[in-house]
Copies of this chain bind each other. A is one copy, B any other.
Amino acid sequence: MTRRIPASTIRRLSHYLRSLEDLEASGDETVSSEELALRGQTTAAQVRKDLSHFGSFGKRGLGYRIEELSARLRQILGVDRVWKVALIGAGRIGSALFEYPAFESRGYECVAIIDSDPAKIGTYWSELQIHGPDDLESLLAELGVELVILAVPARAAQEMAERSVRAGIKGILNFAPIRLKVPRHVPVEDVNLVMELEALSFAITQHGSEP
């Protein structure tokens, strides 16, 4: 039942989970694929197919038990536990991310901050002291860091990625606008603002010329 899962399915699973958390708050017990589809900008069939990749969690005639399904989704997405994260690059985007509460409330706990700026090294963000990059490998390894958020300038990103991999981390969220070269077993998610804007301007331009 669990073969190769489309990336788009995973993104939708995240959506479903958020919808379920909203529903949980509002007291309902069950939800149908129809309702979930409505909130997720997709179709009921798609919801059922997405879920069917991982098993069958619903009851015919009734729908899905909200609590049960959200627990199951958390398990599938791997967010039924706390992930230890290191932030590399304590600049503008790094500080916005560090203070973003959704971060921690979703189970991503920042346990280390690393920056190369001598003016920042040694200072504290909340309880966390900012470290220089020299002892990156041992620091990450000792703390058991699994995820790295890379928010350094593009020219430093490849090196920091390689050193993080050497420290044994398991995945990278990369904000630098370059394609990182890392071993195949280390997943990388890229966040690229300029690309998002270009997708927008394309869509707008297209729209004007083709009604």
A79 to B203, CA, bound (A): 11
Q: Chain B residues near A96 (CB, 8 Å)? A: 92-93, 95-96
| Chain A residues bordering chain B, tally (CB within 8 A) | 58
Q: Is A59 an interface residue (CB 8 A)?
A: no
Q: Chain B residues near A62 (CB, 8 Å)? A: none
Q: Chain B residues near A45 (CB, 8 Å)? A: none
CB-nearest residue of chain B to A75: B205
Copies held by the complex: 2
Interface digits, A1-37 against B, CB 8 Å rule (1 contact, 0 not)? 0100101001101110110000000000000000000
CB-nearest residue of chain B to A201: B78
Contact A193 B191 (CB under 8 A): yes
Cβ-neighbour of A100 out of B83, B92, B196 (below 8 A): B92
A interface SS class:
helix
A93 to B193, CA, bound (A): 12
Contact A194 B11 (CB under 8 A): no
Task: Give, as a whole number of angstroms, the nearest-CB distance from A42 to chain B.
Answer: 10
Q: Is A199 an interface residue (CB 8 A)?
A: yes
Q: Is A200 an interface residue (CB 8 A)?
A: yes
Contact A7 B97 (CB under 8 A): no
A residues contacting B by CB (< 8 A) are: 2, 5, 7, 10-11, 13-15, 17-18, 39-41, 76-79, 83, 92-93, 95-97, 99-100, 102-103, 106, 108, 146-147, 170-173, 177, 179, 185, 187, 189, 191-207, 210
CB pairs A–B below 8 angstroms (13 shown):
A10-B198, A10-B202, A11-B195, A15-B195, A78-B198, A78-B206, A92-B95, A93-B96, A96-B96, A100-B193, A103-B194, A170-B207, A189-B197
